[in-house]
């Protein structure tokens, strides 16, 4: 699936900006808003953001509306868009000297196939990227990875929504999960999950190219992992709840700390109980329980 890159350059007069709002804060704010209209990954620099979205999901109208109505007095901006070629992400990683990532206080190593194995570590996950994001280095991915590494998953029936590379579901299987269903709307993710499952010698029961509507008539899951943007989570939570049962847990990530009350309130509307939340660099994880 081809991706589109939006390069946004923004300006604001410091005399009209609250002293507590740094460039990093403003950049994070913009990223949070862009995530609500489908942008999946971001690169930040001083006064600029590169944002990436599947070409088919991009809306010029939605982008202009979001930026033109941004609620900061004196805020101005300009942006360009560029269609990116479909590339081999293994080659890109190697070219940019990607380093292995340790998660869960050294319990789990995430590496690419071209890295040297480290068999002395308790758990090693091999990820070969294509066009899918999800390598363990983003806070939202690492938050869920750390939760999985700290809980007993033996025998659980797991659903990985918006699975990307499949990293979360693969860790769950390595930690003893009994079965895994992996779902993503991106055809490249579908292929990538199959490859990564093979690299890690695990068997995924079902890989589906689609969205939450494909959950209809599915048997209940014990654990649902959903690392997606805030608005999609809010929209899809009723479908998640429909495939939960008493004792099932729902882990949500992909949103900022200030969005926690929205997700918790939505869960409570659907009969779920708030268990805990974790925050790292403003990115958040929320854990909900089906009573």
Q: What was the pLDDT predicted at 20?
A: 52
User: How confident is the model at residue 163, as a pLDDT?
Assistant: 92
- 18 pLDDT tier (thresholds 50, 70, 90): very low
Residue matched to tokens 């494909």: 214
Name the DSSP class of 86. Answer: P
Could you give the C-alpha distances from 235 to 13, 156, 178, 179, in angstroms and in order? 36, 25, 28, 26
Q: Is 200 annotated as a binding residue?
A: no
What integer pLDDT is reported at residue 231 of this predicted model? 86
pLDDT attached to residue 96: 57
Check residue 193 and report its DSSP letter: H
Residue 63 assigned to a binding site: no
Give pTM, 2 decimals.
Answer: 0.74
Set out the domains of the chain in order of their start, with CATH numbers: 3-84 (3.30.70), 89-289 (3.40.50.150)
**More confident site: 35 or 20:** 35
Joined together, the tokens standing for residue 88 give 């081999």
pLDDT in tens, 108-127: 888 878 788 888 888 999 98
Per-residue pLDDT at 75: 83
227 is in an annotated binding site: yes
The answer to whether 184 is annotated as binding is yes
**What is the sign, positive or negative, of the torsion defined by CA atoms of 5, 208, 269, 276?**
negative
Mean pLDDT of the chain: 87
Tokens of 73: 């007095």
Max CA pair span of the chain: 58
Alpha-carbon gap, residue 59 to 268, rounded angstroms: 32
Contacts of 32 (CB under 8 A, 6+ apart): 230, 255, 256, 259
pLDDT in tens, 198-228: 999 999 999 999 999 999 888 899 999 999 8
């Amino acid at each position: 699936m081809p991706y589109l890159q939006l390069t946004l350059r923004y300006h604001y007069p410091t005399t009209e900006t609250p002293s507590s709002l740094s460039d990093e804060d403003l950049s994070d704010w913009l990223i949070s808003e862009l995530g609500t209209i489908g942008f999946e990954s971001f690169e930040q620099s001083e006064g600029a953001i590169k944002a990436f979205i599947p070409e088919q999901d991009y809306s010029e109208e939605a982008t202009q509306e979001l930026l033109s109505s941004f609620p900061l007095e004196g805020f101005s901006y300009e942006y360009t868009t560029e269609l990116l070629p479909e590339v081999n992400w293994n080659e890109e990683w190697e070219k940019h000297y990607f380093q292995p990532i340790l998660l869960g206080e050294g319990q789990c190593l995430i590496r690419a196939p071209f890295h040297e194995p480290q068999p002395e570590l308790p758990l090693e996950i091999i990820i070969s990227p294509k066009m899918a994001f999800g390598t363990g280095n983003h806070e939202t991915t690492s938050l869920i990875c750390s939760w999985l590494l700290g809980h007993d998953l033996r025998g659980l029936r797991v659903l990985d929504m918006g699975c990307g590379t499949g990293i979360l579901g693969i860790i769950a299987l390595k930690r003893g999960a009994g079965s895994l269903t992996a779902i993503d709307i991106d055809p490249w993710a579908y292929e990538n999950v199959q490859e990564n499952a093979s690299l890690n010698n695990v068997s995924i029961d079902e890989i589906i190219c689609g969205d939450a509507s494909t959950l209809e008539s599915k048997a209940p899951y014990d654990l649902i992992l959903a690392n997606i943007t805030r608005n999609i989570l809010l929209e899809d939570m009723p479908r998640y709840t429909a495939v939960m049962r008493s004792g099932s847990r729902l882990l949500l990530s992909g949103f900022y700390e200030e969005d926690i009350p929205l997700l918790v309130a939505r869960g409570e509307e659907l009969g779920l109980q708030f268990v805990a939340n974790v925050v790292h660099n403003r990115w958040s994880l929320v854990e909900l329980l089906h009573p």
